[in-house]
Amino acid sequence: MNKEPLRQEGKLMWQLIERLWPICRSITGNGLRETLNIIKEHIPVEISEVPSGTKVLDWTVPREWNINDAYILDESGKKIIDFRENNLHVVGYSVPVNEWLELDELQKHLHSLEKQPDAIPYVTSYYREYWGFCLSHKLRASLKPGKYFVHIDSAHTNGSLTYGEYIIKGASEKEIFLSAYVCHPSMASNELSGPVVLTMLAKWLASEKRKYTYRIVFIPETIGSLTYLSKHYKELKEKVIAGFNISCVGDNNNYSYVQSRYGNTFADKMIRRVLDSDYPGYKKFSFLERGSDERQYCSPGIDLPLVVVCRTKYEEYPEYHTSLDNLSYICEEGLTGALELLRKVILLIEEGRYYRIKTLGEPQLGKRNLYPVLSTKTSVASVKRMMNFIAYADGRNDIEEISKITGIPTEEILSYAELLKKEGLLEETGIIQVE
Amino acid sequence: MNKEPLRQEGKLMWQLIERLWPICRSITGNGLRETLNIIKEHIPVEISEVPSGTKVLDWTVPREWNINDAYILDESGKKIIDFRENNLHVVGYSVPVNEWLELDELQKHLHSLEKQPDAIPYVTSYYREYWGFCLSHKLRASLKPGKYFVHIDSAHTNGSLTYGEYIIKGASEKEIFLSAYVCHPSMASNELSGPVVLTMLAKWLASEKRKYTYRIVFIPETIGSLTYLSKHYKELKEKVIAGFNISCVGDNNNYSYVQSRYGNTFADKMIRRVLDSDYPGYKKFSFLERGSDERQYCSPGIDLPLVVVCRTKYEEYPEYHTSLDNLSYICEEGLTGALELLRKVILLIEEGRYYRIKTLGEPQLGKRNLYPVLSTKTSVASVKRMMNFIAYADGRNDIEEISKITGIPTEEILSYAELLKKEGLLEETGIIQVE
Amino acid sequence: MNKEPLRQEGKLMWQLIERLWPICRSITGNGLRETLNIIKEHIPVEISEVPSGTKVLDWTVPREWNINDAYILDESGKKIIDFRENNLHVVGYSVPVNEWLELDELQKHLHSLEKQPDAIPYVTSYYREYWGFCLSHKLRASLKPGKYFVHIDSAHTNGSLTYGEYIIKGASEKEIFLSAYVCHPSMASNELSGPVVLTMLAKWLASEKRKYTYRIVFIPETIGSLTYLSKHYKELKEKVIAGFNISCVGDNNNYSYVQSRYGNTFADKMIRRVLDSDYPGYKKFSFLERGSDERQYCSPGIDLPLVVVCRTKYEEYPEYHTSLDNLSYICEEGLTGALELLRKVILLIEEGRYYRIKTLGEPQLGKRNLYPVLSTKTSVASVKRMMNFIAYADGRNDIEEISKITGIPTEEILSYAELLKKEGLLEETGIIQVE
């Protein structure tokens, strides 16, 4: 692979990240909307709005939440916490508040991490009315008894949940499903790395004709995937042959992947092939260690053949869900590497074709000038390899499997396949039948 | 388990055994009838009579056999063998006889065991006309040449074969099938232990609502199970998910079980789970070493998923089929232990439920107050276990299997299941589909 | 096995080989026709003629080729190469030629083997117009510059392709398929050994009533099997349970066999049983090393359950496809051994019956006098073995498998089977269901 375009893409991704970084996203609201509109500048994402109160499977789309400002003043009127400095300072979905409190009372609404005294934790309260502030344990420890003025200028309104969808039609109706979430405020690996890599991947996917159709979604985690599934799960169950949830791909450590529920889908098989061959030392997590939208995509009855692609997985790094998961936790190389890995998996699927020889009995190579004129000891041997490919081109094996059975390198198989297709002797059986 | 009720049941079983002991049972006749009527005093067995001559599969119900008396007198008129002392003395189904014979002639009708000189063997001749006496080899050796008077006051009549059936309806039409035989004269482990333990088990089964229906039969061995199958095998094949033939459970040695024909039924799986966990050192016999009604229940075309539960298995102890298999060979502890084992297996099946989560996508725990209010690092972790149960509550795995996959103890799974069922989120898929 | 008849058959086979040896066969023409007519003197082969130009699957039956004479004269008029001395001298399907050439020009039409300087190679050009001569490298090296007169008196005409077919009806419509090729000029193991052994095998098959139907074909390689398949493949797919292509069985080395495409057919299983038990050290080749009509018979969509039986396999011996594969390369013992092996495989299939007990529940042995009169400890044990056979006579296992499960020798099983069949209790399920 020529590394230069990749470096270019790395820069673009970094610029996009820097632009998306300050936005205060949540599972609904203008931050999410703004994020999707910025992505739309790069790829033609169709943005949908699903009204608050809509039933989505077992859930209900919550009221839309927006926030203008929030802070805490000490008795002297000094802003000791300012939402505008770091949007993690406010508990997500906090109700408005505007009052003086004693420190004791305030403490009930404060969140910090004793063991990470410099980190502001990320806390939300989507489904129960509450307000709160998050701060470093250091700062919290320094608070003196007295009165504090708390101000949150937020609103819960009958609005909508916003998500983005981009479908890139391929030759086949069968789909590869790609998902990333866009609902966290300023966090880097566990938020921006996913949608940014997926944006760049989508651009690349759209740049050429593809065999499969690609369905790409940018959604708020959990309620977003549930919303999307509630509208599309029947279609997805019918069409999706492999799915990938992209999450936490911004650092520069080795990859990890979270298996599907039984670890036996086509997506598992394909990503394992790539990781096994090119990324020794990668980590494979059981579905028991899931945590993102695979919880919905792979749930009983939905059962999409989907895995999660990560570098250091959510919950596996101390910076996770704190202010330390910031732009210095991630790097351009991390993002471009993840982009490269995903392309490899997609190319494997795109190229992993299933062939079926169209003749009954061996085809006659001679009349098509595919056979040496003279049948001698050595000339017979020379077409054997192609004939071996043909013998296993029975629609049951993909090229890798044929290669394993016959010992013929896949490139050589591909060249035979081209030759035979040109002669009308071989058909691609079109679509992988997911096992 | 509270041992006191079990001790009570042990006493009851022993009393029942003492009462049934003297009765001269056979595969038909009044001894069998009387036995079933005594059992009926404890559980509401429905007693059926199938007329002699009825075709039952490849067999025919034989004429009914009854016997009043039998003895051998020596020349001096002394009773040297008396049926009233031990009903094993007469070959089962002996035709009547009343004549003086020389010892030579008599010898052709005598049966003893040279290697067990004190034991009276158990011999029958159901399907060929014959008369004979069984005696200890010691006694036989002492017989002096001379005349002997043999008397058997028996009768073969057009009567019927008697069997008992007790169906305890459960919530499901699917059945657990339990069988014991009642066709041997005074023998203890290889006769009375089975029906007596099964009687007490039936009482216990009827004492509570059960999920499955229990079909309990008390039948004469072979011809009885054939008779029962000839009337019911289609129904049994449809309904029975697990069956247990109870035999030789009176001694106090470790358990053994005889596998089904291919050792792969749900009954095999369940009894193995109990034996593996609670009875290390138990013996597993191949179907090649079968010998009781499993011969019919598991025969080709019938194929019930049934195993045999024994302590020391028939044919495996020297007292078997002799007068030494008597009340001093068995003990109360042996019987109560077997009762306990069978209850464990049944509880395992009753409790081994298959769950299916009713939502598509994860259920929303928050609106049901099943979720911690605040989404923080630690609170998220705390519901993971329940969510892991939910992820595998897909109707494919029973609790034990879910426990194995998720590492969650079964008690904990059960508590989640209760919680989720209360919320209407989880359904039991009702019936185990036998593999 | 009595060796004397085998020795007789060996002599007959040798005589037949000597008679067929000088004939110049090709994939069409009078040599092939003459060969089939000689075989017809031994077995009633039905000879078919398929016109040139007939479409057969992806192929077309070529024009018929016949040759009367061919030679090369040197400048002095001396015959340096004479087709009448060895029919390998002419490239198969050579067009006629009759002209003086310079040695340079002639060289383009000569074929020899540098590494086997004494051997005349076997070369053909069926599907492209060409003429050529084959000669030893020694002779070729001795040719001096100058003019040479080349003469080939051959003709390509609208004639037909000839093949022979012999169907021996058995009790069942299910078939064993046997194939050998008859298209090579004077070569011994890789030509005559196959049809000659198959002729003798057919005689033996026809000498007794058989359970299966035998379909025996003598065909020119590749185009012949394609022709035969184009007419019969649907029927073959329906009826054939095992097939054997017989090739290169004339030497006296150990056997080899070429597996079917996935190595898992009934034919693979049966020949492996025989080879494993009686021919340790035999060679098993993957389908990748195929080379004869199995290429067509096992091709995707045709998928006959067929293997190739060889001694030293084609392509595995230096004499292969040269004048050194002659009568001194093979021997009578080689041929008779192959005949014996094939008979063993066929007897295994013929005798490898699948039984099904006809009763539901155990059959009543007593009423058929199959059971000892008295039920005693020892008499019960004596019928257990037969009952164990019955227990697994469920149509799923053949005798060998039952023997493995029960530990009863197959001869003993056969005797039980006979007994039970006589009583109408057991049926042969007729036909093996190929897995």
CA distance B429 to chain A (A): 13
What's the residue count for chain C? Answer: 435
Q: How do residues A187-235 score in pLDDT, each as one tens digit? A: 999 999 999 999 999 999 999 999 999 999 999 999 999 999 999 999 9
Compute the 3-state secondary structure of chain A and give helix, strand, coil in percent, each to the nearest 5: 35, 25, 40
Question: Encoding tokens for residue A30?
Answer: 């203008």
Q: How do residues C63-107 score in pLDDT, each as one tens digit? A: 999 999 999 999 999 999 999 999 999 999 999 999 999 999 999
> Tell me, what's the pLDDT at B430?
56
Contact C123 A374 (CB under 8 A): yes
List C-alpha distances in Å: A322 to A253, C316, C402.
Answer: 19, 70, 67
Find chains touching chain A: ≥3 CB pairs under 8 Å: B, C
| Interface ipTM | 0.79
Contacts of A355 (CB under 8 A, 6+ apart): A393, A395, A399, A402, A417, A426, A427, A428, A429
Q: Give the containing element (helix H, strand E) for B168.
A: strand B160-168
CA distance C131 to chain A (A): 10
Find chains touching chain B: ≥3 CB pairs under 8 Å: A, C
* C253 three-class SS: coil
* C326 three-class SS: coil
Question: Encoding tokens for residue A44?
Answer: 């033609």
Facing residue for C295 by CB, picked from A362, A393, A407: A362
Contacts of B406 in chain A (CB under 8 A): 288
Share of chain A above pLDDT 70, in %: 95
Question: Encoding tokens for residue B16?
Answer: 């029942």
Q: Contact at 8 Å (CB) between A296 and B361?
A: yes
Closest C-alpha to A224, from A194, A188, A179, A167: A179
> Tell me, what's the pLDDT at B378?
52
> Tell me, what's the pLDDT at A435?
43
Q: Contact at 8 Å (CB) between A285 and A259?
A: yes
The DSSP symbol for A191 reads: I
> Tell me, what's the pLDDT at B435?
42
Contacts of C29 (CB under 8 A, 6+ apart): C64, C65, C66, C67, C159, C162
Q: How do residues A302-341 score in pLDDT, each as one tens digit? A: 999 999 999 999 999 999 999 999 999 999 999 999 999 9
Facing residue for C300 by CB, picked from A376, A388, A394: A394
Mutate to test the interface with A, among C61, C95, C183, C288 (most CBs of A within 10 A): C288
Q: What's the CA dihedral at B5, B9, B14, B15 to 10 degrees?
A: 100
Residues in chain B whose Cβ is within 8 Å of chain A:
356-357, 359-364, 366-367, 371, 373-377, 380, 387-388, 390-395, 405-407, 425
What is the Cα–Cα distance from A109 to A84, expressed in whole angstroms? 19
Write out chain B's pLDDT in tens, 435 residues.
567 888 999 999 999 999 999 999 999 999 999 999 999 999 999 999 999 999 999 899 999 999 999 999 999 999 999 999 999 999 999 999 999 999 999 999 999 999 999 999 999 999 889 999 999 999 999 999 999 999 999 999 999 999 999 999 999 999 999 999 999 999 999 999 999 999 999 999 999 999 999 999 999 999 999 999 999 999 999 999 999 999 999 999 999 999 999 998 999 989 999 999 999 999 999 998 898 999 999 998 899 999 999 999 999 999 999 999 999 999 999 999 999 999 999 999 998 778 988 888 888 887 887 765 555 555 555 578 888 899 898 887 888 889 988 899 988 898 899 989 999 999 887 556 544
Q: Contact at 8 Å (CB) between A121 and A111?
A: yes
Question: Encoding tokens for residue C192?
Answer: 């005559």
Mutate to test the interface with A, among B362, B402, B404, B427 (most CBs of A within 10 A): B362
What is the mean pLDDT of the segment spanning A87-96? Answer: 97
Task: Tell me the DSSP string of A303-328.
Answer: ---EEEEESSPTTSSTTTTBTTSSTT
Contacts of C130 in chain A (CB under 8 A): 373-374
Given the structure tokens 């991630």, which residue do they identify? A330
Contacts of A296 (CB under 8 A, 6+ apart): A222, A225, A226, A229, A302, B361, B362
What is the Cα–Cα distance from B84 to B66, expressed in whole angstroms? 14
Q: Contact at 8 Å (CB) between A122 and A184?
A: yes
Closest C-alpha to B253, from B317, B323, B346, B182: B317
What's the residue count for chain B? Answer: 435
List C-alpha distances in Å: B214 to B169, B174, B299, B302.
Answer: 6, 9, 21, 19
Residue A376 pLDDT class (50, 70, 90 cuts) = low
> Tell me, what's the pLDDT at A367?
81
Note the Cα C182 to chain centre separation in Å: 10
What is the Cα–Cα distance from C272 to C367, expressed in whole angstroms? 42
> Tell me, what's the pLDDT at C4?
83
Task: Tell me the DSSP string of B73-104.
Answer: EETT--EEEETTT-GGGB-BTPPPEEEEEEHH
The residue in chain A having the minimum alpha-carbon distance to the alpha carbon of residue C62 is A367
What is the Cα–Cα distance from A75 to A89, expressed in whole angstroms? 19
Question: Encoding tokens for residue C426?
Answer: 């057991």
CA distance A92 to chain B (A): 10
Across the strands, what pairs with B218?
B164, B180
The DSSP symbol for B252 reads: S
Closest C-alpha to A123, from B382, B378, B375: B375
How many CB atoms within 10 Å of residue A109?
A: 19
Residue B45 Rama label (left phi>0; alpha psi -120 to 50; beta): beta
What is the Cα–Cα distance from A116 to A136, expressed in whole angstroms? 8
> Tell me, what's the pLDDT at A200?
98
The residue in chain A having the minimum alpha-carbon distance to the alpha carbon of residue B379 is A123
Facing residue for B376 by CB, picked from A60, A121, A288: A121
Identify the sign of the CA torsion A218, A221, A223, A227: positive
Residues in chain A whose Cβ is within 8 Å of chain C:
356-357, 359-364, 366-367, 371, 373-377, 380, 387-388, 390-395, 405-407, 425
Dihedrals φ, ψ of B375, to 5°? -85, 95
Q: Contact at 8 Å (CB) between B121 and B113?
A: yes
Quote the Cα angle for C362-C365-C369, to 5°.
175
| Backbone Cα Rg of chain A | 26
How many CB atoms within 10 Å of residue C182?
A: 29
Beta strands at B46-51 and B147-157: parallel, antiparallel or unpaired: unpaired
Given the structure tokens 């071989």, which residue do they identify? A426
Question: Encoding tokens for residue A317?
Answer: 């790094």
Dihedrals φ, ψ of C49, to 5°? -120, 125
What is the Cα–Cα distance from B58 to C363, expressed in whole angstroms? 6
Contact A302 B361 (CB under 8 A): yes
What is the mean pLDDT of the segment spanning C186-212? Answer: 97
How many CB atoms within 10 Å of residue A261?
A: 24
What is the Cα–Cα distance from A159 to A32, expressed in whole angstroms? 13
**What number of CA atoms fall less than 13 Å from residue C305's CA on the CB side?**
21
Contacts 24+ apart (CB under 8 A), A106-113: A106/A72, A106/A143, A106/A148, A106/A150, A109/A133, A109/A150, A110/A134, A110/A135, A110/A140, A111/A135, A111/B374, A111/B376, A112/A136, A112/A137, A112/A139, A112/A140, A113/A137, A113/A322, A113/B377
> Tell me, what's the pLDDT at C27?
97
Amino acid sitting at position A395? G
**pTM over the 0.80 mark:** no
Contacts of A366 in chain C (CB under 8 A): 126-128
Examine the pLDDT at A1 and tell me if it is beyond 90.
no
Closest C-alpha to C241, from C286, C169, C303: C303
The residue in chain A having the minimum alpha-carbon distance to the alpha carbon of residue B394 is A300
Examine the pLDDT at A434 and tell me if it is beyond 60.
no
Question: Encoding tokens for residue A373?
Answer: 């004129």
CA distance B211 to chain C (A): 29
Q: Give the containing element (helix H, strand E) for B177.
A: strand B175-181
Contact A377 C58 (CB under 8 A): no
Examine the pLDDT at C1 and tell me if it is beyond 60.
no
- Please tell me the least confidently modeled range out of A364-368, C24-28, C387-391: A364-368
What is the Cα–Cα distance from A119 to A103, expressed in whole angstroms? 21
Compute the 3-state secondary structure of chain C and give helix, strand, coil in percent, each to the nearest 5: 35, 25, 40
* C396 three-class SS: strand
